[in-house]
Amino acid sequence: MTDSPHPRETSELFGHGAAESALLDAWNSGRLAHAWLLCGPKGIGKATLAYRFARFALAGGGDGGGLFGDVPSSLEIRPDHPVFRRIASQGHADLETVERGWADDKKSKLRSEIVVEDVRGIGHFMSLTPAEGGWRVVIIDSADEMNRNAANAVLKVLEEPPRNALMLLISHSPGRLLPTIRSRCRRLMLQPLGEDVVADLLTRQRPEVGPTEVAALAKLGEGSIGKALALADEGGLDLYRDLLNLLQGLPRLDVPALHAFGDKVARPENDGSFRTVTELLGWWLARLIRAGGRQGAGMAEVVAGEGALMERLLAAASLEHWLEVWEKITTLFARTEAVHLDRKQAVLGAFMAVERLARQGSR
């Protein structure tokens, strides 16, 4: 497995030309908003765009500008540029990044949220004279993870923005943010990447993955290269196949196989596998509901046979009942993670909830 570069080290951006143009146009207009909310699904490149724009701004609008006063036509900064190198090494004095901090002194686990201590220094940092004479930039990744106190602290900065200071807030779910924060930012919505783009990026970053698996992972990624890479690293495609093999037995689950599956993904050392399975099951049920809502329009299969399985389950119960099961399972998995419930029992409970509903249609 090849480690993926951090967004601060990534020089290329794919699939977001419109969003890049919006930032560039705002810069060239001379009326750049002091705060931007970069929105869209997780893993599609929002942080990569944020660092790309931060480099551009801190370099004074590009690699030195065009000839004869030409306005810049791209946000690109060469990897050998001093600003690029300092940001990649986290050594640029005019860039501050806010992420979740460590939960303990051993730095073994991150906090579940961004707390007020993580953002307390933003206002002072942005009010300082830029060390290199240009801009001060703050990136918050992600703003969705701020708790109430942290969000209120950021709001105070947004209400009285310093001159030549820029704040870039990354958000996977902007509806979760304070309305007052949303209203003080210019929103830039990034769209999911095309399946072909995800497949190409996956091939570049995980060359050991074969073309058949790449195609399946690109479908599972649903426009998110971050999700596709995480699935590749956690054996997500094999887990997805195991999950579907269990569901294929409905309306009667193979109980021994279900227990073996639960044992496999619930081991303490398998944090990634458990989270992957919970996300995949919730995602598959959401696809089932969307397929039912399209009244036979169908949906592209990731694994052969899942379309027929969806048809069979949709015939067994109404969309309303499947939506209730999806909500129940989503709540169960969230609670399991929040208060450390028994993971195997959570997996068993989720599959049995699906089985109970599937049995109704077989009576």
**DSSP-assigned letters across all residues of 66-116:** -GGGPPP------TTSHHHHHHHTT--TTEEEE---BSSTT--SB-SSB-H
Separation of alpha carbons 295 and 291, rounded Å: 7
Q: Tell me: do 252 and 355 sit in the same domain.
A: yes
Residue 243 is predicted with a pLDDT of: 96
What are 194's two structure tokens? 């095309």
Mean pLDDT for all residues in the chain:
91
CATH value at residue 36: 3.40.50.300
Whether 71 and 139 map to the same domain: the answer is: yes
pLDDT tier at 67, thresholds 50, 70, 90:
very low
Go through 193-230 and write b for each residue having 16 or more CB atoms within 10 A of its CB, e for each that does not. bebebbbbbbeebbeebeeebbebbbbbbbbbbbbbbb
Structure tokens at 89: 């090494």
Residue reference for tokens 């990026």: 201
* pLDDT for position 63: 57
Q: How confident is the model at residue 1 (pLDDT cuts 50, 70, 90)?
A: low
DSSP assignments along 306-338, one per residue: HHHHHHHHHHHS-HHHHHHHHHHHHHHHHHHHH
In a domain, 206, yes or no: no
274 in the same domain as 166: no
Same domain (yes/no): 152, 263: no
Q: Which of 189, 206, 225 is the last residue of a domain?
A: 189
Residue 150 is predicted with a pLDDT of 96
Indicate whether 227 belongs to any domain. Answer: no
pTM confidence score: 0.88
Q: Which of residues 189, 207, 224 is at a domain's end?
A: 189
pLDDT exceeds cutoff 50 at 65: no
Q: What's the confidence (pLDDT) of residue 362? A: 58
Distance in angstroms (rounded) separating the CA atoms of residues 311 and 292: 8
Within a domain: 149: yes
**Residue 313, in any domain of the structure:** yes
Identify the domain boundary among 159, 189, 219. 189
Any domain includes 243: yes
Give a yes or no: residue 220 inside a domain: no
Single-letter code of the amino acid located at 312: R
Query: Could you tell me the pLDDT band of residue 277, with boundaries at 50, 70 and 90?
Result: very high
Task: Say yes or no: 163 and 242 in one domain.
Answer: no
pLDDT at residue number 296:
53
Q: Are residues 184 and 57 in the same domain?
A: yes
Task: Kindly state whether residue 213 falls inside one of the protein's structural domains.
Answer: no
What pLDDT is recorded for position 64? 47
Per-residue model confidence (pLDDT) at position 161: 87
Residues 250 and 111 in one domain: no
Residue burial 300-323, b: 16+ Cβ < 10 Å; e: rest? eebbeebeebbebbbebbeeeebb
Count Cβ atoms below 10 Å from residue 246 Cβ, excluding itself: 20
Q: Are residues 108 and 162 in the same domain?
A: yes
241 with 184, same domain: the answer is no
168: DSSP letter: E
In a domain, 217, yes or no: no
Mean pLDDT computed over 325-341: 93
Q: Which range of residues forms the domain containing residue 302?
A: 235-361
pLDDT for 2 equals 57
Instruction: Say if residue 21 is in the same domain as residue 114.
Output: yes
pLDDT digits (tens, 9 = 90+) for 105-114: 777 778 889 9
Give 193 or 106, the one with higher predicted confidence. Answer: 193
How many domains, in total, are found in the chain? 2
- Looking at the fold, whether 151 and 275 belong to one and the same domain comes out as no
Residue 163: pLDDT over 60: yes
Q: What are the pLDDT digits (tens) for 301-320? A: 898 899 999 999 999 999 99
| pLDDT tens per residue across span 213-262 | 999 999 999 999 999 999 999 999 999 999 999 999 999 999 999 999 99
Task: State whether 308 and 167 are in the same domain.
Answer: no
- Strand ranges of the sheet holding 35-39, from the earlier edge strand across to the other edge: 95-98, 136-141, 165-171, 35-39, 186-189
Which residues, 6+ apart, have CB-to-CB distance to 75 below 8 Å?
Answer: 13, 20, 23, 24, 52, 53, 55, 56, 62
